[in-house]
Amino acid sequence: MLRRIGTTGLLVIALTACGGGGGSAEVEPTGGKAAPPAQTTPAAPATTPAQQSAVARVLAGLSVEEKVGQLFMPVLYGTAADTVSGENQARYAARTPAKVIEKYHLGGVILFPQNVKSVGQVVGLTNGLQRASKEVPLLVGTDQENGLVSRMSALMTDFPGAAEIGATKDTALSREVAKATGEELRALGVNLDFAPVADVNVNPRNPVIGRRAFGDDPQKVAKMVAAAVKGFGDAKIAAAAKHFPGHGDTTVDSHTGLPVIRHSRSEWERIDAPPFKAAIGAGVDVVMSAHLVFPKLDPSGDPATLSKPILTGLLRDKLGFKGVVSTDALNMAGVRKKYNDGEIAVRAVLAGADLLLMPNDLPKAYDAVLAAVKSGRISKARLDQSVTRLLTLKQARGLLTEAPVASAERAAEVLRSSEHRKLAARVRD
């Protein structure tokens, strides 16, 4: 079994594509601060041949069970890695977050407000979760979009949300806010933010995107999204553009139903695609799928999360995305209309997903994917593709063999700093 050298930092994933699944914190942004001038470093560092070789060595050291575990990012319950929780026992047959990580060889964890009490507590949690991961350091993520969906709002600067930033028409501000947000998350031990929202909010009756989007103009949104991706890169944390192929023109919330978007292929190219193209061009690490039906892109009736024509045909083959494809939360109603929880996970992998976020039933989903690999329904080569992408992301963000150790002292200096509060105020002004 591969052992990592260090064990404390972590990439915690707390998100649901449309901001649901674990409850969403609605906050109104309030203060902020000005960041230094935007840098020109790429968002997603390119891997060298030596780094690729390191990824291959780690991959070769993983068992099939450990590889399958790398795909999963569930919600865990408790404020410390050793918190005993009846919820963990009931859902995962393991009493503590650390035991769940060990049992399923998890590749990542997602944090919600239920995991957050104080700066020192979150630092202790993320460090403890990393220590529990024996094979490879964790991806630790969260939904910190700012504005309406801000999982860490109890601790972090109240930056304006995407709509307010978009209204400034200043891409430099988008980049600065993303950089500052990333710096605060990184100080807490969170290495992946499920942001920015790349949807174009063209339907004023949209119940789930709305002001979470930068606006209703595809080209303006594209520029803001690209700037935000670069800002997260400046802060050295991973970013995730969501929700592909575009959730902007719907009147149905995919947390509670299955939206259908009836844009033609040309309308998709003109309205929905530009922000995702821009995000990919800016080096985005992750693209998240949407639980919605897009008949002109795939007539099967399956949601995009389970659609190979959309995730592989469009996102990978047409747009050329090489990074990690994440599902939106798999406990949402939009993806659970036709298939059981095990079949959903298998079909998502077959469609092209690499990261399976928040399965409704982790034991069933894990067992189903493992069985599909052993039977050949999911080829071992296909499994290795996803695990390689996940390991490459970890390598690019310095997480392949040793997780960074978060510091409560450093976090206290960074979070809600006067500089960041001034930036938030400058955006509002």
Residues with a catalytic annotation lie at 255, 328
Distance separating alpha carbons of residues 164 and 185, to the nearest angstrom: 21
Q: Of 52, 71, 47, 102, which Cα lies nearest the Cα of 382? A: 71
- Residue carrying the six token digits 């780690």: 58
Which helix (H) or strand (E) segment is 109 a member of? strand 108-110
**Helix, strand or coil, per DSSP, at residue 208:** coil
Please name every residue paired with 192 in a beta bridge, in sequence order, or none if there are none: 141, 238
**Helix, strand or coil, per DSSP, at residue 293:** strand
Q: Are 41 and 234 in contact (CB under 8 A)?
A: yes
What's at 149, amino acid-wise? Answer: V
SS3 content of the chain, % helix, strand, coil (to 5): 45, 10, 45
Contact residues for 361 (Cβ-Cβ < 8 A; gap 6+): 91, 341, 342
Token pair in block for residue 210: 């709305």
Mutual angle of helices 341-351 and 362-375, in 10-degree steps: 50
Max CA-CA distance within the chain? Answer: 59
